[in-house]
Structure 1
Amino acid sequence: MLSLKRYIVCDVETSGLSPRHGGRVIEIGAVACEDGQIVEEFGTLINVDCSIHWAAERVHGISRRMLAGMPEPEEVWRAFQSFIGGCPVVAHNATFDAAFLRHEMTMLGMHMNNRFFCSLALSRKCLPHLPNHRLATVAQHLLGALPPTIRLHRALYDARLAAKIWMALDR
């Protein structure tokens, strides 16, 4: 299919549903992939000064208390920008992740011109028979039972899982 040589698979956990309504990235997880392998990882909670919507907290379990003492946004986004470089970025529901990532970078006067690919869209194209295309559903279909150590809706775990999905679909 696309056969990207080196790419980044990324996931974010957020304080709300949209950056236009004050939502912020509170956790970032990303893995660098080369030749069908995860070769590097990047992940951290972010000490963002914002409230976390109760529905978002219920999904990912990240509270304001957990963000205290974590790296500040500028430190995280500069390190993330260095990690991804000019590589293409894959995300499961890339429109959502890209909007948040670009918003965070723009607030700091940074730019993110990386090309995005969507594992959600690819799964819908390749696996139209699935009842839904949530990360866990697609992963279980392609990879079998998920290990008990997987913590869905935490950024680095979801990025790793999305990378495995992308690798399986992009054969």
Structure 2
Amino acid sequence: MLSGVCADYIIHCRYLSVANTRKLFVILNIGVTGVCFVVLAYAGDNIVTFMIFLTIAFCALGFNGASILPNPMDISKTYSGIIVGMMVTTGGCAGFIGPLILALIIENDNTFERWSSMFMITAAVEFFGMVFFLIFAKGQKQEWSEIDTRQNEEMRALVNK
């Protein structure tokens, strides 16, 4: 919740634009998590390093509330529910694809080296998502999100019949 307050403060004080604020928090969210997973891949049997970077990775996920999650409202209040639905559906695929990939990687050989491969795959997916967002994300209302008033009146007429 604090990340959202910080992002609102940055935007309100005009230190950064809405888009650049979202991009900053995506770096703090996804970038830090990706770096932590790379470190985890090389942590070996050092349990202290492993636990520290795993904790940092999960803490960095808290910046999600100021980065990706509010962005659909920035670009289209009208269609934000649909956009969030597509985001959650796409993101939810990792919930079943990730374990399938992990099962293939560690099948009959559950070693740290195999788990390291999964950490690197996770980091690569994180970095890809971050770079994609940094390139394509917008912070202002998009033209396509405007409902044509004529179309809106026609819809009301249909509903009221």
> TM-score, structure 2 length as denominator?
0.30
Larger relative contact order, structure 1 or 2 (CA cutoff 8 Å, min sep 6): 2
Q: Which structure carries more helix by proportion?
A: 2
Q: Which structure carries more strand by proportion?
A: 1
Larger Rg: 2
